[in-house]
Amino acid sequence: MASGIFRFMASLGQDTAVANTLASFALVVTLVLSGFILSHDKIRAWWIWGYWISPLMYAMNALSINEFLGHKWKHYAEGATEYLGIQVLKNRGLPTEAKWYWIGVGALIGFVIIFNFFFTVALSYLKRKC
Protein backbone atom coordinates (compact mmCIF):
# COMPACT_ATOMS: atom_id res chain seq x y z
CA MET A 1 0.00 0.00 0.00
CA ALA A 2 2.77 2.43 0.91
CA SER A 3 4.62 1.67 -2.29
CA GLY A 4 1.46 2.34 -4.27
CA ILE A 5 0.73 5.66 -2.59
CA PHE A 6 4.28 6.93 -3.05
CA ARG A 7 4.38 5.84 -6.70
CA PHE A 8 1.08 7.65 -7.21
CA MET A 9 2.48 10.80 -5.57
CA ALA A 10 5.58 10.56 -7.77
CA SER A 11 3.47 10.23 -10.91
CA LEU A 12 1.41 13.26 -9.90
CA GLY A 13 4.44 15.39 -9.05
CA GLN A 14 6.62 14.44 -12.03
CA ASP A 15 9.41 16.50 -10.48
CA THR A 16 11.56 15.44 -7.54
CA ALA A 17 10.82 18.50 -5.40
CA VAL A 18 7.07 18.42 -6.02
CA ALA A 19 6.85 14.65 -5.55
CA ASN A 20 8.80 14.83 -2.27
CA THR A 21 6.52 17.60 -1.02
CA LEU A 22 3.37 15.66 -1.94
CA ALA A 23 4.69 12.45 -0.39
CA SER A 24 5.76 14.23 2.81
CA PHE A 25 2.36 15.87 3.14
CA ALA A 26 0.58 12.55 2.51
CA LEU A 27 2.79 10.83 5.08
CA VAL A 28 2.13 13.44 7.77
CA VAL A 29 -1.63 13.44 7.18
CA THR A 30 -1.72 9.64 7.13
CA LEU A 31 0.24 9.35 10.37
CA VAL A 32 -1.69 12.03 12.27
CA LEU A 33 -5.12 10.82 11.20
CA SER A 34 -4.41 7.09 11.53
CA GLY A 35 -5.29 6.85 15.20
CA PHE A 36 -1.67 6.19 16.17
CA ILE A 37 -0.62 9.72 17.10
CA LEU A 38 -4.12 11.02 17.84
CA SER A 39 -6.63 8.44 19.00
CA HIS A 40 -10.03 8.26 17.32
CA ASP A 41 -11.59 10.08 20.27
CA LYS A 42 -9.15 13.03 20.00
CA ILE A 43 -9.63 13.75 16.27
CA ARG A 44 -11.93 16.73 15.70
CA ALA A 45 -15.33 16.05 14.14
CA TRP A 46 -14.53 17.98 10.97
CA TRP A 47 -11.32 15.88 10.44
CA ILE A 48 -12.87 12.48 11.12
CA TRP A 49 -13.22 11.78 7.39
CA GLY A 50 -9.41 11.69 7.25
CA TYR A 51 -9.41 8.96 9.89
CA TRP A 52 -11.72 6.77 7.79
CA ILE A 53 -9.75 7.21 4.56
CA SER A 54 -6.33 6.71 6.17
CA PRO A 55 -4.82 3.39 5.07
CA LEU A 56 -2.62 3.30 8.14
CA MET A 57 -5.72 3.31 10.37
CA TYR A 58 -6.87 0.02 8.86
CA ALA A 59 -3.40 -1.49 9.23
CA MET A 60 -3.09 -0.35 12.84
CA ASN A 61 -6.56 -1.60 13.76
CA ALA A 62 -5.88 -5.00 12.19
CA LEU A 63 -2.53 -5.35 13.97
CA SER A 64 -3.94 -4.16 17.30
CA ILE A 65 -6.88 -6.56 17.12
CA ASN A 66 -4.55 -9.41 16.20
CA GLU A 67 -2.28 -8.69 19.17
CA PHE A 68 -4.68 -7.68 21.95
CA LEU A 69 -7.29 -10.35 21.29
CA GLY A 70 -4.58 -13.02 21.38
CA HIS A 71 -4.01 -15.59 24.12
CA LYS A 72 -1.34 -13.54 25.92
CA TRP A 73 -3.88 -10.82 26.73
CA LYS A 74 -6.77 -13.14 27.73
CA HIS A 75 -6.51 -12.73 31.46
CA TYR A 76 -8.25 -10.40 33.86
CA ALA A 77 -6.60 -7.55 35.67
CA GLU A 78 -7.33 -7.31 39.37
CA GLY A 79 -10.95 -6.26 39.88
CA ALA A 80 -11.72 -6.08 36.16
CA THR A 81 -14.70 -7.55 34.36
CA GLU A 82 -13.10 -7.59 30.89
CA TYR A 83 -9.96 -9.15 29.50
CA LEU A 84 -6.83 -7.02 29.70
CA GLY A 85 -6.56 -6.88 25.89
CA ILE A 86 -10.08 -5.48 25.57
CA GLN A 87 -9.26 -2.83 28.18
CA VAL A 88 -6.14 -1.76 26.27
CA LEU A 89 -8.09 -1.50 23.01
CA LYS A 90 -10.85 0.56 24.62
CA ASN A 91 -8.30 2.79 26.34
CA ARG A 92 -6.78 3.76 22.96
CA GLY A 93 -10.18 4.15 21.27
CA LEU A 94 -9.64 1.13 19.01
CA PRO A 95 -12.38 -1.31 17.97
CA THR A 96 -12.73 -4.45 20.03
CA GLU A 97 -14.46 -6.78 17.56
CA ALA A 98 -12.42 -9.48 15.81
CA LYS A 99 -14.02 -8.64 12.47
CA TRP A 100 -11.81 -5.53 12.26
CA TYR A 101 -8.84 -7.75 11.46
CA TRP A 102 -10.44 -8.85 8.19
CA ILE A 103 -11.80 -5.38 7.50
CA GLY A 104 -8.22 -4.08 7.77
CA VAL A 105 -6.81 -6.78 5.51
CA GLY A 106 -9.52 -6.18 2.90
CA ALA A 107 -9.12 -2.40 3.06
CA LEU A 108 -5.36 -2.62 2.58
CA ILE A 109 -5.79 -4.87 -0.45
CA GLY A 110 -8.32 -2.37 -1.77
CA PHE A 111 -5.91 0.52 -1.21
CA VAL A 112 -3.17 -1.36 -3.09
CA ILE A 113 -5.49 -1.79 -6.07
CA ILE A 114 -6.75 1.81 -5.94
CA PHE A 115 -3.31 3.44 -5.65
CA ASN A 116 -1.83 1.28 -8.41
CA PHE A 117 -4.82 2.07 -10.64
CA PHE A 118 -4.41 5.81 -10.07
CA PHE A 119 -0.66 5.49 -10.62
CA THR A 120 -1.30 3.86 -14.00
CA VAL A 121 -3.91 6.49 -14.93
CA ALA A 122 -1.60 9.34 -13.92
CA LEU A 123 1.26 7.93 -15.99
CA SER A 124 -1.03 7.44 -18.96
CA TYR A 125 -2.72 10.82 -19.05
CA LEU A 126 -0.39 13.39 -17.47
CA LYS A 127 2.09 14.93 -19.87
CA ARG A 128 5.68 14.78 -18.67
CA LYS A 129 7.43 18.16 -18.53
CA CYS A 130 10.89 17.99 -20.05
Question: What are 22-60's pLDDT values in tens digits?
Answer: 889 988 988 888 888 888 888 888 888 888 999 999 999
Domain ranges across the chain = 2-125
Residue 11 parent element (H or E) = helix 2-13
Rounded Cα gap, residues 65 and 105, in angstroms: 12
Per-residue pLDDT at 15: 85
- Is 12:129 a contact under the CB 8 Å cutoff? no
Give me the residues paired with residue 76 across strands.
Answer: 83
Torsion from C-alpha of 58, 9, 31, 44, nearest 10 degrees: -90
Tens digits of residue pLDDT in 54-102: 999 999 999 999 999 999 999 888 888 899 999 999 988 899 999 999 9
Whether pTM > 0.75 for this model: the answer is yes
